[in-house]
Amino acid sequence: MVKISISVDASSLILITKIGLLNELCHTFNIIVSESVYHESTNYSEYNDAKIIKEYINNKRIFVKKVNKRQKFILDLGEGEKQVLELYTQEKAKAVLIDDKKAIKGCKYHKINYITSPYLVYYFYKKKIINKNKAILSLKSLEEFGRYKADIIGFYLLKITDQENA
């Protein structure tokens, strides 16, 4: 089975690692990150998530790619977010995994397929990659570690419980 490629932002990569879904992410998708995202997500080696991400990169479960062609974006984005969107085009990725509100607006404007960490948890549940308890725990952890409002997390929690009752 050929895995589809997704370009991942540092904050999303760190969040997915913190909630314990990095293995599922790398097993399901071909994960590509820019050099900027690599540095941003592994720079603080005293953090456990930085160590885990570096190990996945060293073991070639996450691939670091150099951005060859710079692009102009309508919004003022951080360097990491810009490179995530640039890698999407350069590597012909199917989507970007991104949680930054401004970058999501950029994705919408530039017609770039994107997914967020809460949606990814729901996707893993829907595809039976994780069970209901893991999905619920992961969403609650995203609310704690991420910048997600309770209504966004609640939306996906409802989808999980509604799907089970359907």
Per-residue pLDDT of the chain (166 residues; tens, 9 = 90+): 678 999 999 999 999 999 999 999 999 999 999 999 999 999 987 889 999 999 999 999 999 999 987 666 556 777 778 888 889 989 999 999 999 888 898 889 889 999 999 999 999 999 999 999 999 999 999 998 887 888 999 999 999 988 655 5
E strands present in the chain: 5-8, 30-34, 62-65, 95-97, 114-115
Q: Which domain holds residue 154?
A: 118-165
Count of domains for the chain:
2
- Tokens representing 23? 């293995």
Among residues 3, 12, 25, 1, the alpha carbon closest in space to that of 91 is found at 3
CA 80 to chain centre: 13
Asked if 16 and 80 sit in the same domain, the reply is yes
The Cβ of residue 90 has, within 10 Å, a number of other Cβ atoms equal to 18
- Tokens representing 151? 């209504």
pLDDT at position 49 is 92
Asked if 81 and 139 sit in the same domain, the reply is no
Look at the pTM and tell me if it is higher than 0.75.
yes
3 state DSSP class of 159: helix
Asked if 75 and 27 sit in the same domain, the reply is yes
Asked if 132 and 58 sit in the same domain, the reply is no
E strands present in 4-61: 5-8, 30-34
